[in-house]
A and B are shown apart, each in its own frame.
Chain A
Amino acid sequence: MNTLLWAAVPYVAIAILVVGTFWRYRYDKLGWTTRSSQLYESRLLRIGSPLFHFGILVVIIGHIIGLVIPESWTDAMGVSHDAYHIQALVLGAIAGFSTLAGVAILIYRRRTNGPVFMATTRNDKAMYVALVAAIITGLATTLIGAGIVADEHNYRETVSIWFRSLFTLNPDIDAMAEAPLSFQIHTLFGLLLIATIPFTRLVHMFSAPIGYLFRPYIVYRSRDARPDRPIYRNRDGVRTRQRAGRR
């Protein structure tokens, strides 16, 4: 069971993420968008959306710090165990709560505003469930890990070791199996979210426009330099009038 959960599932999730994203990009460039609903409603969005997005950016940075940087490094830098946990708790709790508040506002807006709700697909609803589940369990682990709700747990001796071992293709299953249930549940929800990213509107995170900071303001493009669209595939073929049939 542990092997399935902590060795098989993570790799499957990552594989789905990579292959799925590649497939989605090939198949669905036209649907690769934020699908913004700001045109319908902007008063609540103006509060909820930045709250959520900036919150989740901090959360992601926090995850990277907690999972990627080994405890021995921070020890070497002279950051004590307690100091580390206090900053992780404070930063994590603030970011987590603003993310949760943001997503709550956004979901409330989505449900109560008629046009926004009508523009919500089933896909979106499923995505919201996975997202909120991951956020709530994550916030819970932050509080649990700091010893506020339950016994303190140093996830950097369990989850982080397992996480890093995934990338050396030698998953430390035991390390993860020792972690408390709350961490395990959060990890599973996180993996679920990772696996579903390519198939939801969350793909827009991969087009974060960092390049905008470095490109020239005015973009010129030649008429010839169009992307290879299927239209041109029969460029050398005979032009027949197959108006109704498929090829």
Chain B
Amino acid sequence: MKVMAQVAMVMNLDKCIGCHTCSVTCKQAWTNRPGTEYVWFNNVETRPGQGYPRTYEDQERWRGGWERTKRGRLRLKGGGRVRRLLSIFSNPKLPSLQDYYEPWTYDYDNLINAPLGDQMPVAQPRSLISGDPMKVEWSANWDDNLAGGPQLAVDDPVLKKVSDQVKLEFEQTFMFYLPRICEHCLNPSCVASCPSGAMYKRSEDGIVLVDQDACRGWRMCVTGCPYKKVYFNHRTGKAEKCTLCYPRIEVGLPTVCSETCVGRLRYLGLILYDADKVLEAAAVEDEKDLYQAQLDVLLDPNDEEVVEAARREGIAEDWISAAQRSPIHRLIKEYRVALPLHPEYRTMPMVWYIPPLSPVVDQVRDTGHDAEEAGNLFGAIDALRIPIEYLAELFTAGDTAPVDAVLRKLAAMRSYMRDVNLGRETRPEIPAGVGMTEESMHAMYRLLAIAKYEDRYVIPTAYEEAGRQLEEMSCSLDYDGGPGMYINGSGPFGEASGQPVPVSVETFHALRHRQTTDTLAGPENKEQRVNLLNWDGQGRPAGLFPERQEDGDA
């Protein structure tokens, strides 16, 4: 047994209202730089829907993840090592920009500089790629809230699997939101696809990262990731991905997306797993056994044997105790209400989801029945096959039994806690019916519904002795060469060449440029846009106000 620790996330989909706050704050923090305009490390998809990039779940087309060979071994679905190298000059399975979307801005300048005329001047959309006027036809959440309806949603690869003849009639629709970040898999196919060995899984906390110094821009990771959560920065020519906000995690803070989630639906914590068993578990024959196999890889942090083995591997005491208090472990292993996203990709994803009960509740309520009565909900779970099968295709490779079990637990909690809240006699048979006790029902309610900050996020800090290495956090501008290194985003060998610039320095400069310029975001100087979202009211961005007579403040 080789015990390793992993920072994992659980999202409670019942609480997601699809507000995209996580996406926006993530973008402002991480992908507001040139070359990443189209990149959303965190995005929120409406399901059923095509997702971002479009139809990324269709692995027959995109060839992401792993497949099991006849001899029971794992092979990259996109082909073995030799095949990868032979296609290195032109990756045949790379999504085009149109599969994501062509990013754009608006020609705001025209609003104030247009000559006097009969019509109101308009701000035309301009492509951030070519700078030309463009027609906005797609974006990262174009089919938000089922916009586009039956025409768009039918292309959802998951929906296609559920049934050939799903009618997306308004009365029959169901809908929920699926926020997605990088899964930080235990068996990451992006890492396995990287020819340069620039991608790696951190052995301390399992976060999957791209070494920007070692990446050579071969683009194989983009194909390798079945979730399409590795992106190619087209200006720097390097791959970028969700970092699980490791600078925050290292000091015990939750990720930006978690911190800013208004629905408080994200949970962060440690899990311990047996690294020796990962490959074996990822290679089980039947896809439907993958969920159980993945559960079996996770270790019980309260087991003395596991704790001993963890100590032998050098895992610190505060990490072990954090694993024992982990909300993730409770939701995944104890209550068994969280499920992995697409286990059939065999990457052992580590961002898990509590499937939403809301499609069921909505149906019951819409038919005029009591949507908090356990019997009604159980009956509806049995009757509403299409939403259940859809959820099963997302979370358990099509096996509806685990999804049924989770939804029954959620329905039981809803029903049981109503009695508590109304001061009625509680009915112990409700938790008993779903294999839980009254105590565990209360504890799960506390974790899911009350969801206190300190319960949701149990994040041990990086070791004390490693503290010195986190210096970038505190004095990022204070090093040789200093912030002056950032020369307009472009070195002598093209975009972002030259010495590495810490992210915080780059963001600092990008923000300052952006607040003090009024040029339209031409691709040459993309950091020089006026972004009113970023403008904090301080200073005078050059083009925002009319020129003053005297040369005033800068």
Interface residues of A (CB under 8 A from B): 24, 27-40, 42, 45-46, 49-50, 52-54, 114-115, 118-119, 121, 123-124, 199-201, 204, 207, 209, 211-213, 215, 217-224, 226-227, 229-235, 239-243, 245-247
Contact = CB atoms under 8 A, between A and B. Distances in A.
Contact of B237 (A33, A239, A241): A33
Contacts of A32: 213, 216
B491 interface: yes
B479 A36 contact: no
Nearest to A200: B493
Contact of A231 (B216, B479, B494): B479
B480 interface: yes
Output the residue of B88, B94, B480, B493 with the most chain A CB within 10 A. B493
B215 A33 contact: yes
Given A53-B89, A217-B191, A232-B469, A243 B493 contact: no
A199 B471 contact: no
Contact of A33 (B96, B132, B201, B236): B236
Interface of B: 81-82, 84-85, 88-92, 94, 96-97, 129-132, 187-188, 191-192, 194-197, 199-205, 211-219, 232, 234-238, 250, 462, 466, 468-469, 471-472, 474-482, 484, 491-500, 502, 523-524
A39 B94 contact: yes
Nearest to B212: A30
What secondary structure prevails in chain B residues at the interface with A? loop
Nearest to A43: B96
Contacts of A42: 90, 94, 96
17 contacts: A29-B214, A30-B497, A30-B500, A35-B237, A38-B232, A42-B94, A49-B90, A119-B234, A199-B492, A212-B81, A218-B188, A220-B203, A222-B203, A230-B481, A234-B480, A243-B477, A247-B480
Given A123-B494, A245-B482, A247-B480, A36 B462 contact: no
A40 B98 CA distance: 9
Nearest to A209: B195
Nearest to B202: A223
A35 B494 contact: yes
Given A30-B213, A221-B202, A224-B466, 17 more contacts: A27-B498, A28-B498, A29-B500, A31-B491, A32-B213, A38-B219, A39-B234, A42-B90, A114-B130, A115-B129, A212-B194, A219-B197, A220-B201, A223-B466, A226-B469, A227-B211, A239-B475
A223 B461 CA distance: 13
A222 B482 contact: no
A211 B89 CA distance: 17
B106 to A, nearest CB: 19
Contact of A118 (B97, B468, B523): B523
A53 B90 CA distance: 10
Contacts of A213: 81-82, 85
